[in-house]
Amino acid sequence: MLGRFINFLLVIPHTQYLKTVGTFGDITAIFAFIAFLNIILTYGMETTYFNFIRKGYVPNQVYAIAQKSILASTAIFSVIVLFFAEPCAAFLGFRGHVDFVYCCLIFLVFDTFSLLPFAKLRQEEKPMKFALIKLANIGVNVTLNYIFLAYTPEILKSFGQVTLILMANAAASIVSFALLSPLAFKINYSFDKKIFKEMLAYAWPLIFVGLAGIVNETLDRNLLTRLLPKEIGSYQNGIYGAFYKLTMVMTMFVQAYKFAAEPFVFKQKEDEDSLKKYADLMYWFVGVCSFIFIACMYFIDSLSHLLIHNKAFFEDKNGLYIVPILLLANLFLGVYYNLSVWYRLTNNTKIGAMIGIGAAIITIIGNIIFIPMFGFIACAWLTLIVYALMCLAAYVLGLRYFKVPYQVVKLLTLIALAIGFWQINKSLHTDTLLFWQDFSIKLALLFLFMLIIWLLQPKLKKA
């Protein structure tokens, strides 16, 4: 959580030192495309690794097979990109900028090589080592971003700002891989083709799940620059990307929860109380996310001006308008992570892929239709609608294959109350009050919501 928060603070130098809103939009579009490549290069091997260990396979053997596969496939990908760097740059929408391609390739390769070593640390329950290496990566990235943008060294002044940011990311990825290299190459087990085929059979649907998820999360940022005139698209992408960053508190919690919960979920499957534990996890997850939603919306004006220093980003009033929509969207994404446990545990990853693909189709069609009319506002609303539909599909199908006793009424009540608490504060017009009066009211409402979460909590099972 701390590491992601530090990384989140990059929005400050990016909005402060980048010359235009459009430049920030270009960075947003590049990283959105990189997210697609991350899914393709890792092809579901992280979840497959956890699943095969749960099945009783030798952990080090599963790790060695998966890591050898990823090392080989990533090396092949690298050679192809190096040979076709110019067409890759043109496909990204930055014709002639092969420097973008080379920098992206470096951090893509080293991030991919580091994926399973990080997963191994999680599986072996070594959170301190995991966190320290993640922090080292983020520390290098943030530090170099500040230095390269605010105090550009003479030797680097010939590079554009986008290239400098990509170089900082590449350096950070190299550092984390160097720290993980003893694990990355600890692959002495022989390559068992039979096990590998079984792993691929489990993993390939997860590629579509992942790609569909990335379509829902980031495709809109690529489509904004392709469906709108270049300058308008980059500008809108800059606004959308900057204000999307204000939802990172929710995103950071969801991602941290996912990291911690995935190994736990697989380990708990055989426990007789596993279904109740999954239901309880969902309750507390929704409770915390609902609280985060209220807290973010109560202090969004102060938070936005604290993090976004360039006034040009506030010229479009719709930037702040999309924040509550995206906060709720990320809440539902986290709920979907919880609900999707059934297809991971019952080896029904093909059904998970179908849910993801269906959602991706809605996202693509919706964005193509509505972006030319409504710009990034359409992106925000579609993100929320699609994640909510994914939750509905996962819940309904889960009742058939793996019935977890989720307390649906309580979960929906918490989400509805969170929206209600936000609207109550808006209706009080606290902006006309003194600071301490406004703060006291908000604090009282937050404490009241915490009390409601506590009172509605699931009952403990009697011994």
**pLDDT of the residue at 43:** 87
**pLDDT of the residue at 366:** 95
C-alpha 432/C-alpha 455 separation (Å) is 33
**pLDDT of the residue at 463:** 42
Q: Is 247 helix (H, G, I), strand (E, B) or coil?
A: helix
Spell out the SS3 assignment of 328-384: HHHHHHHHHHHHCHHHHHCCCHHHHHHHHHHHHHHHHHHHHHHHHHHCHHHHHHHHH
**pLDDT of the residue at 193:** 87
Q: What is the pLDDT along the chain (463 residues), one digit of tens a residue?
A: 555 666 667 888 888 888 889 898 889 889 888 888 988 898 888 888 888 887 888 888 999 999 999 999 999 999 999 999 999 999 888 888 899 999 999 999 999 999 999 999 988 888 889 889 988 998 899 999 999 999 999 999 999 999 999 999 999 999 999 999 988 888 888 888 888 999 988 888 778 777 877 887 888 888 898 899 888 988 999 999 889 888 888 988 888 787 777 666 766 666 667 778 788 888 999 999 999 999 999 988 888 888 888 888 888 889 999 999 999 999 999 999 888 877 777 777 788 788 888 988 999 999 999 999 999 999 999 999 999 999 999 898 888 877 888 888 999 999 999 999 999 888 876 667 677 777 888 889 999 999 999 998 877 554 4
C-alpha 268/C-alpha 395 separation (Å) is 20
CA angle 33, 16, 254 (to 5 degrees): 50
Q: What's the alpha-carbon Rg for the chain, to the nearest Å? A: 22
**pLDDT of the residue at 430:** 64
**Residue boundaries of the structural domains of the chain:** 194-463
Burial class (CB in 10 A: 0-12, 13-18, 19+), 429: exposed
Burial 210-228 (b: 16+ CB within 10 A, else e): bbbbbbbbbbbbbbbbebb
Contact yes or no for 6/138 (Cβ under 8 A): yes
**pLDDT of the residue at 270:** 61
**pLDDT of the residue at 178:** 95
Provide CB contacts within 8 A for 181, sequence distance 6+.
Answer: none
**pLDDT of the residue at 357:** 86
Contact yes or no for 133/179 (Cβ under 8 A): yes
Contact yes or no for 103/170 (Cβ under 8 A): yes
CA distances from 2 to 231, 255, 365 (A): 35, 12, 37
C-alpha 83/C-alpha 98 separation (Å) is 11
